[in-house]
């Protein structure tokens, strides 16, 4: 089975990738500025909702229920979609999904395809598969277009080009759109993108979209966006293909009332998205003549099989956890080596890959809990991180030195006698590293600590020794 999550399998470990990215001060400024803007907007529009906590709890329950009965709802969705004139395809992994989509486009002799709002297509490496098959993909979401033209990778699940500022974007457009005189005002950039994209919308006859929600009851697909480019993609072409992860299913149309309140406020700090598109199958004389849904597993059923972490699949991809994550704000998204960055990426990517790769990701968190606090569907990300860390150790995949140290520490802490001995040994062991009552440099794995931090030496008397002495004098 070929479970592929972007390029995570071959990506460097998180600490190594982070070390390089952290040196880029411009990147950090861009990420910090953008996440500050979004999280402040989010905080304002969430605060005005008296029933926010109830909405979160409803969403959590709807998702938990759906995941428990996913087999049922997927089939209900298929039946409803087919009834409405759509065609449903099942893809167990990335290769199969790519094959299906390439096959559909070949059947229509499409040489080009417009794309929108499909992070899942990055997960399965669709663009590369399309190009290999002689089909040119055109990203039409503005941020995705910036990424594609810049030969870059997405760094945020809602704002993929968040790491770029406007002058960087101008450089990309100047070169790739052949506009040497392009200015760097936001309106200059959006005008250039509009000109560039309109031509594609009017000419290209096939489109690929993602989905925010797929509604089992009606077989409808829902996409929310800010630009209207998604609306173009789903309404203008003759053939429309929706690539949908199986976890995107919600049971009823009415459930949207919960998610369409939570998602825009959490994602972009808007009360509602400017464009909310919901369509069902095909309609005579209006919109695409053919509508296909590709339901993608690609490791999701493995996640579902683990009751301790299956809530990972409840994610509605709002990105709120990225914006508040102090780790993400230091590194940006590329350090995670996957299309899914930040706290949700740190739990989703390793699970989609059956924990075979990216085992450094569950450790890419200080466990501060800010992600859990903002999650609109209440995914307990810190708990799942701990669960996945447990799996890394259980499988014997932790570094050997760390395993030995942890065993030694467990022994030292197993009773008071051992602990007292360890405390005494520590006092002696630290002597060579002390200068003027401070430890300024440490060897081995502790050198990272002492690179920027001093350490106070272990004092001459532990608390337990003080207590024992105090009891002695009292007698």
CA gap 71, 78 in Å, rounded: 11
Least Å from the CB of residue 394 to other proteins: 8
Q: 199 vs 373, which CB is nearer to other proteins?
A: 373
Q: At CA 42, angle to CA 264 and CA 300, rounded to 5?
A: 50
Residue with Cβ nearer other proteins (180 or 444): 444
Edge-to-edge strand order for the sheet containing 112-116?
87-91, 290-296, 239-245, 206-209, 112-116, 136-139
Smaller CB separation from other proteins, 9 or 22: 22
CB of 446 to other proteins, least distance (A): 7
User: Least distance (Å) from other proteins to the CB of residue 398?
Assistant: 7
Measured between alpha carbons, how far is 21 from 28 in angstroms, rounded to an integer? Answer: 8
Cβ(251)–Cβ(62) under 8 Å?
A: yes
CA-based radius of gyration for the chain: 26
- Distance (Å, whole) CA 398 – CA 376: 32
User: Least CB distance from residue 324 to other proteins, whole Å?
Assistant: 9
Judged by beta carbon, residue 87 or residue 430, the one nearer other proteins is 430
CA 54 from chain center: how many Å?
A: 25
In terms of Cα–Cα distance, which of 223, 249, 250, 220 is closest to 234? 223
Shortest Å, Cβ 465 to other proteins? 8
Closer residue to other proteins (CB): 64 or 455? 455
**116 phi and psi angles, rounded to 5 deg:** -150, 145
Q: How far is the CB of 10 from other proteins (least distance, A)?
A: 20
Q: CB neighbours (10 Å) of residue 81?
A: 26
Q: Which is nearer to other proteins, 166 or 418 (CB)?
A: 418
Query: Which token pair is 235?
Result: 């309404």
What is the binding site for other proteins (CB under 8 A)?
Answer: 14-15, 18-19, 22, 28, 326-327, 330-331, 360, 362-370, 372-373, 383, 386, 389-394, 398, 402, 406-407, 409-410, 413-416, 418-419, 423, 426, 438, 440, 445-446, 448-449, 451-456, 458-459, 461-464, 466-468
Given a contact cutoff of 8 angstroms between Cβ atoms, the answer to whether 443 and 401 are in contact is no
Give the nearer residue to other proteins in terms of CB position, either 28 or 289. 28
* Least Cβ distance, residue 370 to other proteins (angstroms): 7
């Amino acid at each position: 089975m070929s479970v592929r999550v972007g390029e995570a399998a071959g990506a460097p470990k998180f600490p190594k990738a982070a070390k390089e990215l952290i040196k880029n001060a411009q990147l950090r400024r861009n990420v910090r500025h953008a996440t500050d803007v979004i999280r402040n907007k989010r905080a304002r529009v969430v605060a005005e909702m008296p029933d926010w906590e109830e909405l979160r709890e409803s969403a959590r329950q709807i998702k938990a229920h759906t995941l428990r009965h996913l087999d049922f709802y997927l089939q209900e969705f298929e039946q409803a979609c087919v009834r409405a004139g759509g065609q449903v395809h099942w893809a167990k992994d990335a290769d199969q999904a790519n094959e299906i989509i390439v096959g559909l486009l070949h059947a229509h002799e499409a040489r080009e395809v417009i794309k929108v709002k499909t992070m899942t297509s990055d997960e399965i490496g669709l663009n590369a598969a399309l190009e290999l098959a002689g089909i040119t993909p055109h990203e039409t979401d503005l941020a995705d277009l910036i990424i594609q033209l810049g030969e870059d990778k997405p760094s945020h699940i809602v704002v993929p080009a968040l790491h770029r500022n406007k002058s960087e974007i101008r450089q990309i457009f100047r070169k790739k759109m052949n506009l040497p005189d392009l200015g760097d005002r936001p309106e200059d950039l959006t005008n250039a993108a509009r000109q560039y994209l309109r031509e594609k919308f009017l000419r290209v006859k096939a489109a690929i979209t993602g989905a925010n929600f797929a509604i089992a009851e009606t077989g409808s697909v829902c996409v929310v966006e800010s630009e209207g480019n998604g609306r173009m993609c789903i309404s203008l072409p003759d053939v429309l293909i929706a690539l949908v992860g199986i976890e995107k299913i919600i049971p009823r149309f009415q459930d949207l009332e919960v998610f369409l309140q939570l998602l825009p406020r959490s994602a972009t700090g808007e009360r509602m998205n400017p464009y909310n598109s919901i369509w069902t199958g095909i309609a005579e004389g209006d919109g695409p003549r053919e509508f296909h849904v590709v339901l993608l597993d690609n490791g999701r059923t493995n996640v579902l099989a683990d009751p301790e972490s299956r809530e990972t699949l409840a994610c509605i991809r709002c990105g709120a956890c990225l914006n508040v994550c102090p780790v993400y704000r230091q590194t940006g998204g590329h350090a995670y080596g996957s299309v899914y960055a930040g706290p949700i990426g740190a739990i989703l990517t390793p699970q989609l890959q059956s924990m075979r790769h990216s085992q450094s990701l569950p450790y890419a968190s200080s466990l501060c809990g800010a992600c859990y606090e903002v999650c609109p569907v209440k995914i307990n990300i810190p708990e799942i991180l701990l669960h996945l860390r447990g799996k890394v150790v259980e499988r014997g995949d932790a570094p050997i030195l760390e395993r030995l140290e942890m065993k030694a520490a467990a022994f030292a802490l197993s009773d008071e006698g051992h602990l007292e001995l360890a405390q005494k040994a520590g006092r002696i062991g630290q002597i060579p590293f002390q200068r003027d009552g401070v430890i300024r440099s440490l060897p081995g794995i502790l050198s990272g600590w002492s690179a920027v931090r001093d350490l106070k030496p272990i004092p001459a008397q532990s608390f337990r020794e003080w207590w024992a002495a105090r009891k002695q004098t009292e007698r």
